[in-house]
Amino acid sequence: MKTGLEYMESLRKRNIKVYVKGQLLKSQEVIDHPFIRGHVNSAAMTYELAHDPVAEDLVTATSHLTGKKINRFTHIHQSKEDLIKKVKMLRMISQRTGTCYQRCVGFDALNAVYCTTYEMDQKLGTGYHERIKKYVEYIQENDIMVAGAMTDPKGDRSLRPGQQADPDMFVHVVERNDKGIVVRGAKAHMTGMVNSHEMLIMPTMSMVAEDKDYAVSCAIPVDAPGVLHIFGRQTNDDRKCEGEIDQGNAQFGIVGGECLTVLENVFVPWEKVFMCGETDFAGMMVGRFASYHRQNYGGCKGGVSDIVIGAAAVMADYSGYGKATHIKDKINEMIHLTETLYACSIACSSEGKQTASGSYFVDPLLANVGKHNVTRLIYDIDRIAQDIGGGLTATLPSESDLRNPEIGKYVEKYFKGVATVPTEDRMRIARLLENMTGGTALVESMHGAGSPQAQKIMYSKLSNLEHKKRAAMALAGIKLKEAE
């Protein structure tokens, strides 16, 4: 297992193409760019904590393939306990970083592809499962960070992949030969891609026979020939080039460092291909991945919300109203909402079941309900935090003003709260609140792991409404017909 430092050094060995604000970065300097450095630091925490005696029970596991001790982010779930430990691990790391550490998407992709390929092979006689087992072993042995790559640009949402005016709106196979395949297209909103080692491509939706070329899953190094990454903007990201205070969470940054990953005729050898044209199983792979990923949100957002609650409480204390009854009530409401999110993630893990492959899968109904809660309750948590924080969190002058020899005394004087608390400390907690409760962080809570409508579709299918109707009719004394 790599340490955090070894992870960082391994990234410097890549020959990756990353563009930031129109400029191509030098490959070895990508992880040092101010826009990217915090995301690297947060991902490094997933490596470092595996060597921490206090955290290792959650952050490590035993490989079912080799029997070796491995980082849990490379593990294939073997029990309900594994599913529960995953959620507890995510909350714990979020409490350490206050942000996304990007490794979950690849973790979930590995598990989704693993159990789907087994069932695909059983029905179709393909040999994909042995390939993914070998790939997982490689990932575990080298402690590789994998970026899960599902979301396509999609183009015209009213049209299927094969109907698009531009076929590249969905990743697709453009060539097959005896050595492998060639893929083309792009993957959007790619969390942690620029500081990963490999990407695991998956289809983004259910497919029909006409979409055969788009039903593809494969693994590609992030620096493979034909791959380039265009780094996305984030709220207030230029502050990362300025002082530490104005960044809020200077060490770990905001959310996950997303990018657009472009695939220009990229070759993939057959041993790294896990689906190629099997349209009947595209929906299963998408559903498995989505549920695994939605499982996470009560854990990671629970941990992030713990920090938001703490920051709001500190801001109230620094401002002199921490003991007010209405502030205590608001903080209690934030705690209630946070634990509600966490409870759903623990529940869907506890109700998990073994798949045909032997690995364990979450309860998809509860996983989708949990993520849908996040799209609502995080907004309530952050709204209350902003209420407690006050207008100061949005109107503070800059750190440069505080340091300025002429006007710094005025910033120091007029932004002071409680006399015993340094103005700089009050500014720091205000900026952290601003950073964590606005802009990019909220959008990610809404659309990460799928937009709200996607969860509604899933839990409407899984909730067994007909059973509920029959139960109500029986209690009402309505005799059911045989057909019902």
* Identified catalytic residue from 129, 172, 229, 293: 293
- Taking the CA atoms of residue 61, residue 342, residue 80 and residue 365 in that order, the dihedral angle to the nearest 10 degrees is -130
Q: Which two tokens stand for residue 266?
A: 């990229």
Residue 90 CA to its chain's centroid (Å): 10
Q: Is 56 among the catalytic positions? A: no
Q: Is 258 among the catalytic positions? A: yes
* Identified catalytic residue from 47, 104, 117, 126: 104
Q: Is 119 among the catalytic positions? A: no
198-201 β-sheet, strand order = 146-149, 198-201, 216-221, 273-276
**What residue type is assigned to position 102 of the chain?**
Q
Q: How far is CA 65 from CA 137, 189, 327, 421, in A?
A: 7, 32, 52, 54
- Helix or strand or coil: residue 201? strand
Q: Is 293 among the catalytic positions? A: yes
Would you mind telling me the total number of residues written for the chain in this entry?
484
Kindly tell me the burial class for residue 412, based on how many C-beta atoms sit within 10 Å of its own C-beta (0-12, 13-18, 19 or more).
Answer: middle
Tell me the C-alpha distance between 325 and 317, whole Å. 13
- Residue whose pair of structure tokens reads 């453009």 in the numeric block: 174
Tell me the C-alpha distance between 105 and 200, whole Å. 9
Residue 328 CA to its chain's centroid (Å): 31
Q: Is 318 among the catalytic positions? A: no
User: Is there a binding annotation on residue 126?
Assistant: no
* Identified catalytic residue from 115, 259, 276, 300: 300
| DSSP-assigned beta bridge partners for residue 172 | 184
| DSSP-assigned beta bridge partners for residue 266 | 183
* Identified catalytic residue from 48, 100, 276, 437: 100
Of 151, 385, 416, nearest to 290 (Cα)?
A: 151
* Identified catalytic residue from 74, 97, 198, 258: 258
Q: Is 300 among the catalytic positions? A: yes
- Taking the CA atoms of residue 103, residue 106, residue 112 and residue 115 in that order, the dihedral angle to the nearest 10 degrees is -100
Under a CB-based contact definition with an 8 Å cutoff, are residues 286 and 206 in contact?
yes
φ and ψ at residue 468, rounded to 5 degrees: -65, -40
* Identified catalytic residue from 97, 116, 126, 191: 191
Under a CB-based contact definition with an 8 Å cutoff, are residues 298 and 370 in contact?
yes
**Cα distance between the two ends of the chain:** 56
Q: Is 104 among the catalytic positions? A: yes
CB neighbour list of residue 169: distance below 8 Å, 6 or more residues apart: 152, 153, 154, 155, 156, 161, 185
Q: Is 410 among the catalytic positions? A: no
The beta strands (E) that lie in 226-372 are given as: 227-231, 259-269, 273-276, 353-354, 360-361
Under a CB-based contact definition with an 8 Å cutoff, are residues 418 and 319 in contact?
yes
* Identified catalytic residue from 297, 318, 342, 360: 297
Active site residues per annotation = 100, 104, 191, 258, 293, 297, 300, 444
Annotated binding-site residues read: 191
Q: Which residues are annotated as a binding site for FAD?
A: 191
